[in-house]
Amino acid sequence: MTTIRLTAAQALVRYLSVQLNEDKEPFLAGIWAIFGHGNVAGLGEALHAAGDQFPTWRGHNEQTMAHAAIAYSKTLNRKRAMAVTTSIGPGATNLVTACALAHVNRLPVLFLPGDVFANHLPDPVLQQIESMGDGTISANDCLRPVSRYFDRITRPEQLLAALPKAFATMTDPATCGPATLAFCQDVQAEAYDWPLNFFEPKTWRCRRPRPDEVELTTAIESITQAEKPLIIAGGGVHYSQATDALRTFAERHQIPVSETQAGKSALAFDHPLNFGSIGVTGASSANAIAENADLIIAVGTRLQDFTTGSWALFKNNNYRILSINIEVFDAQKGGGLPLIGDAKICLQELTSALGNFQAVEPDAQLRTDWHEAVERVTAEPETNDNNAQNPLPSDAQVIGAVQRSLDENSIVVCAAGGLPGELHKLWKAQKPNSYHVEYGYSCMGYEIAGGLGAKMARPDREIVVMVGDGSYMMANSELATSVMLGHKIILVVLDNRGFGCINRLQMATGGESFNNLLDTARHARPSDIDFVAHAGSMGAESEKVASIAELESAMKRARAAHHSYVITIDTDPLIATEEGGAWWDVAVPETSSRVKVKNAYAEYQSHKNSRNQAE
């Protein structure tokens, strides 16, 4: 057997650089790195030698550069991914949030945090977490529960088994998610005689399993017996590249479609069978159909509480769930009838087997009324008298202005706070993957880094990040990275002076405005953050606008710019779109001295009782 002597780090980098997807592109586009004493000597040297064969990008924060990597894969429907390496200690634990995000959203990323010395001779080393009862534990064990695959590399030759397992995890639709190889720092530098065939290019195909015949027959029977079915399109529709199959299935059998956050843009906003977003942040049209549906056809969705209205949305006493999913774990939720398999293949086989079956035609007026509501709340406000005070715009009005400023090829990026709910209801997505909202983990701080990752994936498309001032303050450093790397993104910062979304939830559950808005939080000096100056200091072009009309003008300048561009606008923290929506189970205190809380608890109990009776 022919061998080559390389360090473990050199072998890892060489292996990563020759793993391909089915389009013969490198599956890993490169690696994000912040070096420290746990990875600079081993992996740092190996990555420097690789050069453009396996590109390395420098971020400003371990969590956000991981978010950029995750967004890259999401934008490309998991066909490609990125790796991330950090030092040991805080660098590694900064990955935990991003790793959890990737796990929840079923997105591939390879984490390579440095680890302690495998030989334990210098223990305890700088930044080492010591377990008084278990010498095998390090800080990286925090990543175990949020990784789909985890291993600690304590010998170079472990990579011969660990690397293929990591790639198998990331490239299998059923197990897809983050893979973590905690890489002991002394092992990175150790040499081993590697078999040369380990470094031969390998193609990883996206497996498309066909459904079980018994499950397919059961699915066909459940659909043909239904009078009022409803499709819920989840993120799996995109990842399976099943958008065309979904449209054909819906059209052939006249079944209305609703969309989750991850599934939005699976069907064009103006398609006659697209009844809009579903659930807590859903359209009135989709939710009205969901309440009466006797069959929920869930395609590629985890059926989280925002989708199901905490399982109170479906009010038909005889409703059933048919769950088309690649993952058995997800397909069983809600007592669903499972149809395990690739979403595209399953939809195609159902379309063929159902023949001329058509459901009862959905009420088109529901769509008309909803679209009119969308137009109304997103319209530019009427111009005030010059002497009148200009009221702060709503998030919906800002969304309308941004939408009017873009073409259908643009991608909107968002994550946490009130904006995702408003976007889910109101954004008119025309093309698949034009809507990029991370709401599986609803992670504040994803937005700007996510926009950078999306731009790296699709440099040909305009990327517009809509972000609240709260999320901007949590994680903004990758704006500087976007400037440094020449990946232009547009940021629209909606400044409602705090965490406006949670403030509204706090008040809706009977609480007083407390510790969410900057003005009601404890302070010795009022907050006065200059977002324009801050963004400018990182190299972005920036400006602040005072009205919706000014915002639309600024969007034209932003689109014409060659560098990342930030537009800030003050917004009303109390206004949210009242149209649409559904109940969400947020526990209210059972006892309180405050009347507002008592009233909120009584309403909460009423909703819980209604759900329990429906069950």
Q: Alpha helices, DSSP H only, in 25-106?
A: 43-50, 62-75, 90-93, 95-104
Q: Is the pLDDT of residue 386 over 60?
A: no
In this structure, what token pair is assigned to residue 61? 């924060």
Give residues with Cβ within 8 angstroms of 298, minimum separation 6.
232, 234, 321, 322, 323, 324, 325, 336
pLDDT, tens digit (0-9, with 9 covering 90-100), for 73-82: 999 999 999 9
Residue 362 CA to residue 367 CA, distance in Å, equals 10
Q: What is the pLDDT of residue 382?
A: 80
Residue 139 CA to residue 88 CA, distance in Å, equals 8
Residues in a beta bridge with 195: 3
Which DSSP helix (H) or strand (E) runs through 593? none
Q: Is 501 helix (H, G, I), strand (E, B) or coil?
A: helix
Q: Is the pLDDT of residue 388 over 80?
A: no
Q: Is the pLDDT of residue 42 over 70?
A: yes
Amino acid sitting at position 400: G
Residue 475 CA to residue 482 CA, distance in Å, equals 13
Mean pLDDT of the chain: 95
Residue 495 CA to residue 457 CA, distance in Å, equals 28
Residue 387 — pLDDT band, cuts 50, 70, 90?
very low
Greater confidence (615 vs 265) lies with 265
CB 457 within 8 A of CB 471: no
Other Cβ atoms less than 10 A from the Cβ of 44: the count is 18
**Three-state SS annotation for 232-282:** EECHHHHHCCCHHHHHHHHHHHCCCEEECCCCCCCCCCCCCCEEEECCCCC
pLDDT, tens digit (0-9, with 9 covering 90-100), for 13-37: 999 999 999 999 999 999 999 999 9
Residues in a beta bridge with 320: 295
Rounded alpha-carbon distances, angstroms, from residue 269 to 393, 428, 464, 525, 589 = 24, 5, 19, 46, 39
Give residues with Cβ within 8 angstroms of 608, minimum separation 6.
585
CB 94 within 8 A of CB 474: no
Q: What is the pLDDT of residue 389?
A: 47
Residue 332 CA to residue 97 CA, distance in Å, equals 27
Tokens 């934008």 belong to 75
**Rounded mean pLDDT of 63-71?**
98
In this structure, what token pair is assigned to residue 578? 């009242």
pLDDT, tens digit (0-9, with 9 covering 90-100), for 149-197: 999 999 999 999 999 999 999 999 999 999 999 999 999 999 999 999 9
Q: Phi-psi region for residue 417, left (φ > 0), alpha (ψ -120 to 50) or beta?
A: left
Q: Is the pLDDT of residue 614 over 80?
A: no
